[in-house]
Structure 1
């Protein structure tokens, strides 16, 4: 008999509540999150922002049925303290980075609001489906108190799917833990079928949202509380709850010298010459993993 090990760090837990037409995903990032954050010396507000974004990226990416599909989450503004936030997920690999103005950030204090960081920014969520070569993108304003709220708006406005998202981030002794949950109402079946009752006031959804909405941030980040235990706390009174372990998560940066060489080869010889340094190399700086790739064309 195979021993069942409850889900801890860096793995998705999938669950469904069949009697309520609901599905969800849970994740708690630990070592993988620290690996991503260690690529840059982020100040605390930016570290927490990126941690939240990586949790959302993992949760939304885990909704993909296409194993080779990619989920990209990008937040951007003009003239904001945060110039760009970019994260993506593919086949269990997550990566992300934030470009920001440190001097302006320091003026905001230790707990800046989402609007203080982004101003009138927007959030773009893109699903690239490798199996069908299709791309779906939705763009919503960065409004509310968190990235999670903007993602909820995306699903209801762009996908017409009632969605509840909770995220928690906790840092102690230099170690960052971030967890999250997404729950959705999918009446009348899964994707591809008309959802006749996809509305926020559906009684089944109101019931699920009330239970899921009671989840606290500290429960999401508590390493002594397995993800299965979180589901049990929320839905133990339901007739049936199904849980399945999803993919293990790792930091995945797809940068290689060959990858950048192929991209640069698309430029003309004169254009590449303008990019070269005095040693005849084009040095590419990967923002995701903070590595330099010197590329030379003979």
Structure 2
């Protein structure tokens, strides 16, 4: 397989002898573009960077073109009111709504509970027909979003999963890296999974090796993703590289899409949206662009 670029790529891999597969990702310019859409304070920027990296790792599990993965936090009484990210065919986007006053009262490193309150994480897979949409919801518990997603796979999917995510901001660049490894004995292609347990000898070995990855390795833009995998797993097992996929910031808003959205509203609601100049202004939360549509140009 051709060598991947050092950032904005996802690399899929397998460890055949241990019945494990995984993904490793590093984001650079794509993450910069997502974070630059809003003037986020550092604490919120860190959370969104972790969420976007997780979304890339989960989205890379999708096999069919046009499939979409959405990661959304539903919160109550926390600093963050809403966090939403999604992935489709390598295109990533995400944003956060938060309470500035509550954020100012937080320590330098707030807990997950402080940021999200009594929150839940919804992970939604939109797949082509006939499979359609599936969704899992887990409490936002643990030390990080990555730990909450690990809990999702254990509770909802009964799949032993290791996830590590790191974020580094230096010299004006935002770099996030992540690793996801899963144990899928006997059942990767849809057969019934056998012997799936957290203390399975095959999984114990991979979990220890994968868990040794450092934040510096995941965010080192001079270190190829392939080399991370060799360092972690190749000493005792074959590591098979499967495929690579590039990532970009991919907000899907445009004037045609905005017009389609407006068209779904009843005439009375559309009339209420019109300003004094006779226009309807719609802001995209993901990319922070405002689209101004003349009401006269709409078919009411």
Which of residues 210, 215, 232 in structure 1 aligns to 2:213? 215
**Kept after mapping to 2: 8 A contact 1:11/1:245:** no
Task: Tell me how far 1:34 sits from its aligned partner.
Answer: 0.4
| Structure 2: distance between partners of 1:17 and 1:7 | 22
- 2:12 maps to what in 1? 14
Give the whole-Å Cα distance in 2 for the aligned partners of 1:6 and 1:269.
51
Distance 1:4 1:269 in 2: 54
**Does structure 1 retain, via aligned residues, the 8 Å contact 2:122–2:137?**
yes
The Cα of 1:80 is off from its aligned counterpart by 1.4
What are the residue-to-residue correspondences of 1:109-128 with 2, within 5 Å? 109-128=107-126
Counterpart contact for 2:187–2:194, Cα < 8 Å? no
**Is 1:23 equivalent to 2:21 in the alignment?**
yes
Task: Give the CA deviation at 1:9.
Answer: 0.2
In the aligned structure 1, how far is the partner of 2:264 from the partner of 2:10?
Answer: 38
Q: Distance in 2 between matches of 1:253 and 1:19?
A: 40
In the alignment, which of 119, 142, 158 is matched to residue 156 of structure 2?
158
SS at match of 2:176: strand
Aligned residue for 1:232, secondary structure, equals helix
SS at match of 1:200: coil
Select which of 205, 225, 228 maps to 1:227.
225
Question: Aligned match of 2:3 in 5, 14, 23?
Answer: 5
Indicate conservation of the 8 Å contact 2:274/2:295, yes or no.
no
CA distance in 2, matches of 1:7, 1:174: 20
Q: Given the superposition, is the C-alpha separation of residues 230 and 256 from structure 1 closer, same or farther in structure 2, using an over 3 Å criterion?
A: same
Partner secondary structure for residue 47 of structure 1: helix
The match for 2:92 among 87, 91, 94 is: 94
Is the deviation greater in 5-14 or in 160-169? 5-14
TM-superposed CA distance for 1:6, in Å, is 4.2
Match of 1:149 in 2: 147
Which residue does 2:185 correspond to in 1? 187
SS in 2 for 1:204: helix
Give the whole-Å Cα distance in 1 for the aligned partners of 2:140 and 2:82.
Answer: 13
Answer whether contact 1:44 1:110 (CA < 8 A) is retained.
no
Q: What secondary structure is seen at the aligned counterpart in 2 of 1:112?
A: coil
How many angstroms does 1:224 deviate by? 1.4
Q: CA deviation at 1:220?
A: 0.4
Q: TM-score, normalised by structure 1?
A: 0.96
How large is the RMSD of aligned CA atoms in angstroms? 1.3
Give the deviation of 1:8 after TM superposition: 1.0
Distance in 1 (CA, whole Å) between partners of 2:131 and 2:94 is: 23
What SS class does the counterpart of residue 21 from structure 2 fall into? strand
With 231-240 and 32-41 compared, the bigger mean Cα shift is at 231-240
Moved over 4 A (4+): none
Deviation at 1:131, TM superposition (A): 4.6
Q: TM-score, normalised by structure 2?
A: 0.96
Q: Which residue of 2 aligns with 1:250?
A: 248
CA contact (8 A) 2:11 2:25 kept: yes
State the partner residue of 2:170: 172
2:74 corresponds to 1:70: no
